[in-house]
Structure 1
Amino acid sequence: MTGARAVTCPSCGGSIEIRAVGYTVTLACRYCGSLLDVANEDVRLITAYRRAAKNFAIMPGARGTLFDVEWEVIGALRRRSGDAVWQEFLLFNPYSGYRWLVAADGEWQFGTMLLDRPEEDGRSVSWRGQHYVLDDNAEIETVMVIGEFYWRAARGDKVQGATFANGREQLSRETSADEVTWTQLIPITAEWVSEAFTVEQRHMPRPPRPDLTEGFRKAPGVAEGDLGNMFLVALAALLLILAVQVLLSGPQVCADGRATVDVGGATTIHRIGTVEVRRPWQFVTITVDSDSFTNRWVDLDYSLVNRQTQQSVDAYGLVEFYTGTDSDGPWSEGSHQAETLFSRVPRGTYDVFVDVGAHGWPSDPVPGTVDPQNPWGHTDTVALWFRSCTGGFSWGMFWLMAALLFSVPGLIFWWRHQD
């Protein structure tokens, strides 16, 4: 491709060729990794290293054709940012100049340095009529250098890197104390790179450990910051609704009662107690606990009777518990506890009544027959303990409000991700 100049490494004595003669400033020995200053005729040792610079996916000296141009790999960098580690290969052609080949997370990108600087606008940039949005911004450190470069490259170099994305195309900005450089990065397939160069797959950089939040943070539009703010506003509104519901639930006044009912017998009426609703409108909650019956259900018809007007507010409750065995093994269904919520009960004093009827499954007990579970013929009963309290609020309404509040940012997130 071009005439080469051979130099001897002052550190290890190895013979190294300079391929981009007249352009190369820094050369990293491929045998020991030492950094050499080759800008002048006398090769000067910058930093001596004893460990060989190896384990790159492509070694300097390899040649291959990409985009109808024959390139030679003259330098390689291993760089990192946080847990992410990747490799960058400097390509050279005497007629086309320099390009970059970047290997990260099993994928490849082809990079071209920009001569015309993009127009920056906060968290986005514009370049040649295209709009790019900030995708990542972090410090980048060079951890290994091999080959030759047109600037004084050295391990330990640090720059501030920012990546702006437009679909799969990216613009990379690197800012150091001396300059700002821009590079356009376009994706190319691993098959194409393997056809052009000999790639050591075992030396490809490994992807960083997965971050459960990265998929959300990297999704299109999230980097702009508006979606995060939307979710925070929705959460704040939901907490405010919860606080208002708790505040408006009002003072709590409770009454307790107990009832025992025969299984398969007649419905009986029981008075639980008296509660007083002190606000213009208030919730009343009745909870019931039962003894440990099986294959039974209990119908509960509640009535709140206003002492002054004798008008009643009615609601229905149910306690049921079943067990059995089928082809999948033992099963159970139901609970020995239940809760019934009365909404918007007007101010007043109420007597709480319940009509109770207990039943057996699959049928009620028949008098005069012997039940294997009750060989002595004792009357099968269910004991119930009631508590009636003013106050409380509807959890169903709370979760409905949560779904509505988070649906807007959720739909926006889905729509942007589809793009």
Structure 2
Amino acid sequence: MDGKSEAIIPPPLPTPTQPQVKAFQCPGCGGALTIRGLEQTESIACGSCGSIIDITDENFRIISTFQSRIKHQTLIPLGSRGKLRGETFEVIGYLRRKINVEGIDYEWSEYLLFNPYKGFRWLSEYNGHWNYIKSTSNTPKPQSSDSLSTVYYLGQPFPHFQTAAAQVSYVLGEFYWRVQVGESSQVSDYISPPLILSRECTEKEVVWSIGEYIEPKTLWEGFQLKTPIPPKIGIAPSQPSPLVAQARGIWKILLIFFLVALFIQALFLLFSANKLVYQDQMAFHLADKEKARVTEVFELTGRPSNVVIKSKATVDNSWIYLNLALINEETGNAYDFGREISYYHGYDGGESWSEGGTSDEAVLSSVPPGRYYLRIEPDAAASSINYSIQVYRDVPSWSFFFMAMGGLAVYPLFYWWRRRTFEYYRWSESDHPMKALSSFVSKADEDD
């Protein structure tokens, strides 16, 4: 040793060996068959004659045979190898299963994948939608002991989607159990997109599996398939809604627009004069019913802006009508308008009621600056009513802000409607279909 440290080079990791395969002839037709799962395979289905062979029997005993009028073409050929989630898997088995709902058969495909180090995985396909499936590491827990309406897996809720009796209708390749055409199990699906939990119950066992929605493009790239990708039909139970990912961006944009509208409104409030330019107390007498009254001249300054005329009257189970005109002293231009103030109250059936009020407000928009006066022609049924008039210049209005808020509310409502429509079509084929929005409208009309 010379006192210098020496780098320790670790030995190279062993290179994983290629999965071994075993070939033999089908005892039914003599066709060549290949076993890829080796010790873990218990049966293999011959695609030529339909024989299902027990691999665990040294004489390769035929368990059963089936005749299929349709020879299904697999989208991913048996023996194909591809990468999923960073692991290499080989397709070793293919089967078709079906359920019957109201006399109609619904079929889907399942592909058995094998990796000697990771074990078995499944790919299921229905109407162009795919799920990547494996056995659960924990048993899901029901929401309550007597109900499976919702189950929890790793703390996440999965509402029940559908329960049906599923039957194997076609098999090809090898499997880790003695599969037979016609074997059935009760399958219950629970969803939390993009995840799906499946509970398969037979006379012998209950098996849980967890699946995740996977885009077909990912599979075609992983298995390097050259065939066209079949189009998707409808909405799959575990298909994630593309609208969910947009929610955060939508609320962010809405918040920005809200803050902008609030800032603009704050500027209106800050720079509006909101100035009282005239006020007076007046009285109406029935004897002076036909007489018009003219106020003193008052000045409206600044830019063209609104004018707010506020009026109050001592009406009590009575009314007064004010025929008003705001007149420019120099040009003679007049803004004519009328306002009624009425207030009634009483008791009916032991309960009090009231209608109307003792005050009113009129808004004239964009009145130019200048010298103005009011002409007032009052009318009432009572013999005498006191009333007051106040005139304000450049009063801040909230109408812009509320119009902006109304406009902003349109898109969230549209977004909610699209998201609900997506979920409506997802759940339409479940055991718990959603009600259409039209049904709520019809019910409201019936209640009216």
Instruction: Identify the match of residue 161 of structure 2 among 126, 135, 138.
Output: 135
Summarize deviations over 1:85-117 as a string: whole Å, max 9, x none. 111000000000000011111111100111321
Alignment of 1:228-267 (within 5 A): none
Q: Which residue of 1 aligns with 2:34?
A: 17
Q: Which residue of 1 aligns with 2:177?
A: 151
Q: Which residue of 1 aligns with 2:189?
A: 163
Aligned partners of 2:66 and 2:181 also within 8 Å: no
Q: CA deviation at 1:56?
A: 1.7
Aligned partners of 2:96 and 2:108 also within 8 Å: yes
- Measured in 2, the distance between the counterparts of 1:204 and 1:27 equals 28
In the superposition, relative to structure 1, how do residues 81 and 191 fare at CA in structure 2: closer, same or farther (>3 Å)? Answer: same
Instruction: Identify the match of residue 85 of structure 1 among 99, 107, 112.
Output: 107
- Measured in 2, the distance between the counterparts of 1:209 and 1:66 equals 23
- Measured in 1, the distance between the counterparts of 2:34 and 2:426 equals 42
Q: Which residue of 2 aligns with 1:72?
A: 90
Summarize deviations over 1:375-395 as a string: whole Å, max 9, x none. xxxxxxxxxxxxxxxxxxxxx
Where in structure 1 are there 5+ consecutive unaligned residues? Answer: 239-397, 403-419
In the superposition, relative to structure 1, how do residues 155 and 118 fare at CA in structure 2: closer, same or farther (>3 Å)? Answer: same
Q: Which amino acid aligns with 2:179?
A: A
In the superposition, relative to structure 1, how do residues 76 and 93 fare at CA in structure 2: closer, same or farther (>3 Å)? Answer: same
Q: CA deviation at 1:399?
A: 2.9
- Measured in 2, the distance between the counterparts of 1:152 and 1:50 equals 18
DSSP-derived class of the 2:39 partner: coil
Q: Identify the range of structure 1 (82-91 vs 197-206) with the bigger mean alpha-carbon deviation.
A: 197-206
- Measured in 2, the distance between the counterparts of 1:188 and 1:209 equals 13
Aligned partners of 1:16 and 1:29 also within 8 Å: yes
After superposition, the CA RMSD in angstroms is: 3.5
- Measured in 1, the distance between the counterparts of 2:185 and 2:123 equals 19
- Measured in 2, the distance between the counterparts of 1:205 and 1:189 equals 11
Q: CA deviation at 1:45?
A: 1.1
- Measured in 2, the distance between the counterparts of 1:160 and 1:150 equals 19
- Measured in 2, the distance between the counterparts of 1:171 and 1:109 equals 11
Summarize deviations over 1:205-253 as a string: whole Å, max 9, x none. 996999xx99748449x9668x77x999998xx6xxxxxxxxxxxxxxx
Aligned partners of 1:85 and 1:207 also within 8 Å: no
Q: Which amino acid aligns with 1:138?
A: A
Q: CA deviation at 1:54?
A: 3.8
- Measured in 1, the distance between the counterparts of 2:178 and 2:131 equals 24
In the superposition, relative to structure 1, how do residues 133 and 231 fare at CA in structure 2: closer, same or farther (>3 Å)? Answer: farther
Q: Which amino acid aligns with 1:37?
A: D
Alignment of 1:302-381 (within 5 A): none
Aligned partners of 1:90 and 1:99 also within 8 Å: yes
Aligned partners of 2:52 and 2:180 also within 8 Å: yes
Q: Which residue of 2 aligns with 1:109?
A: 131
- Measured in 2, the distance between the counterparts of 1:47 and 1:35 equals 5
- Measured in 1, the distance between the counterparts of 2:41 and 2:108 equals 23
In the superposition, relative to structure 1, how do residues 39 and 208 fare at CA in structure 2: closer, same or farther (>3 Å)? Answer: farther
Alignment of 1:21-100 (within 5 A): 21-49=38-66, 53-82=71-100, 83-100=105-122
Summarize deviations over 1:23-58 as a string: whole Å, max 9, x none. 111100132221000013221112234658541212
Alignment of 1:180-199 (within 5 A): 180-197=206-223
Aligned partners of 1:125 and 1:133 also within 8 Å: yes
- Measured in 2, the distance between the counterparts of 1:8 and 1:189 equals 37
Q: Which has the higher contact order (CA 8 A, sep 6+)?
A: 1
Aligned partners of 1:171 and 1:183 also within 8 Å: yes
- Measured in 2, the distance between the counterparts of 1:134 and 1:50 equals 35
Aligned partners of 2:216 and 2:229 also within 8 Å: no
Q: TM-score, normalised by structure 2?
A: 0.47
Please say which structure displays the higher CA radius of gyration: 2
DSSP-derived class of the 1:22 partner: helix
DSSP-derived class of the 2:49 partner: coil
DSSP-derived class of the 1:165 partner: strand
Percent identity over the alignment is: 30
- Measured in 2, the distance between the counterparts of 1:8 and 1:93 equals 24
Q: CA deviation at 1:17?
A: 1.1
In the superposition, relative to structure 1, how do residues 223 and 30 fare at CA in structure 2: closer, same or farther (>3 Å)? Answer: closer
In the superposition, relative to structure 1, how do residues 233 and 201 fare at CA in structure 2: closer, same or farther (>3 Å)? Answer: same
Q: Which amino acid aligns with 2:85?
A: F
Summarize deviations over 1:91-148 as a string: whole Å, max 9, x none. 0000000000111111111001113211123201001111100011111111100011
- Measured in 1, the distance between the counterparts of 2:440 and 2:229 equals 46
Q: Which residue of 2 aligns with 1:306?
A: none
- Measured in 2, the distance between the counterparts of 1:192 and 1:179 equals 33
Q: CA deviation at 1:59?
A: 2.4
Aligned partners of 2:235 and 2:426 also within 8 Å: no
Q: TM-score, normalised by structure 1?
A: 0.50
- Measured in 2, the distance between the counterparts of 1:175 and 1:58 equals 28
Instruction: Identify the match of residue 201 of structure 2 among 169, 175, 187.
Output: 175
Q: Which amino acid aligns with 2:89?
A: W
Aligned partners of 1:134 and 1:162 also within 8 Å: yes
In the superposition, relative to structure 1, how do residues 101 and 58 fare at CA in structure 2: closer, same or farther (>3 Å)? Answer: same
- Measured in 1, the distance between the counterparts of 2:43 and 2:188 equals 25
In the superposition, relative to structure 1, how do residues 59 and 31 fare at CA in structure 2: closer, same or farther (>3 Å)? Answer: farther
Aligned partners of 2:163 and 2:431 also within 8 Å: no
DSSP-derived class of the 2:38 partner: coil
Summarize deviations over 1:260-290 as a string: whole Å, max 9, x none. xxxxxxxxxxxxxxxxxxxxxxxxxxxxxxx
Q: Which amino acid aligns with 2:135?
A: M
